[in-house]
Structure formats: C-alpha cells, structure tokens
Amino acid sequence: MADPMRIRAALAGDETTVRVLMSHPMETGTRKDAAGATIPAHFIKDVEATHNGKSVLKAMFSGSVSQNPFLSFKFKGAAKGDKVTVKWTDNKGASRTDEATIA
C-alpha cells in the first residue's frame, strides 16, 4: 500500500480549492537503472475526486507527470466541513483512496 495522499481543501468565497499531493514513483518505462536494464513503467493512470458522491474532477495521467504528483483544482457548490475524496489507480492496478475535510 502506498503512502497516504496529502490533501488540502479550502473554501474561499464560493470556490473550493483542492490541492492533492500523491505519493508515487511515476516511472515512465524509458529510464534505465545502473545495470542498463529498463525500469518498467509504473505510474498513476486515473485520478478521481468526488464531493458528496458527485465527481468533481477526473484526471488521466501518463508517465510524464512528475514523481509524487501534485494536482490542484477548484470547484463550486461545497460547504465547510464537507468531505472531498480522492482516489488514484496506477497501471499495475493498485489504488488508494483518501479524504479530507473542507476548511
């Protein structure tokens, strides 16, 4: 199981800004290790953020997203104390779900 995500969700006016820091190696599959062997690709493919069961953002990543991916987005219609849930799935089928409370 990968390390937990760090999620910050802050309400300002009517917009909630969500910032997510995922913990993942994000290997492209083109890098080589010291012995010259190709390191297999291992990266997050899908990210979905939901608020009250409603999807607020879906993202598809490729290997060219940086290690420990950062994602920031804004959405409307949330209130303080609501929960935002973020789930990622990688190309090996592993996934992780974390949630944060809107402050």
Which residues of this chain interact with other proteins, rule CB under 8 A? Answer: 15, 28, 30-33, 39, 45, 54-67, 69-77
Q: What is the nearest approach in angstroms of other proteins to the Cβ of residue 70?
A: 5
Which lies closer to other proteins via its Cβ, residue 56 or residue 100? 56
Contacts of 12 (CB under 8 A, 6+ apart): none
Q: What is the nearest approach in angstroms of other proteins to the Cβ of residue 68?
A: 8
How would you class 24 by CB atoms within 10 Å of its CB: exposed for 0-12, middle for 13-18, buried for 19 or more?
A: buried
Q: What is the nearest approach in angstroms of other proteins to the Cβ of residue 91?
A: 8
Which lies closer to other proteins via its Cβ, residue 75 or residue 99? 75
CB-based contact 19:71 (threshold 8 Å)? yes
Distance CA 37, CA 17 (A): 41
Which lies closer to other proteins via its Cβ, residue 78 or residue 96? 78
Which lies closer to other proteins via its Cβ, residue 42 or residue 45? 45
Distance CA 30, CA 75 (A): 35
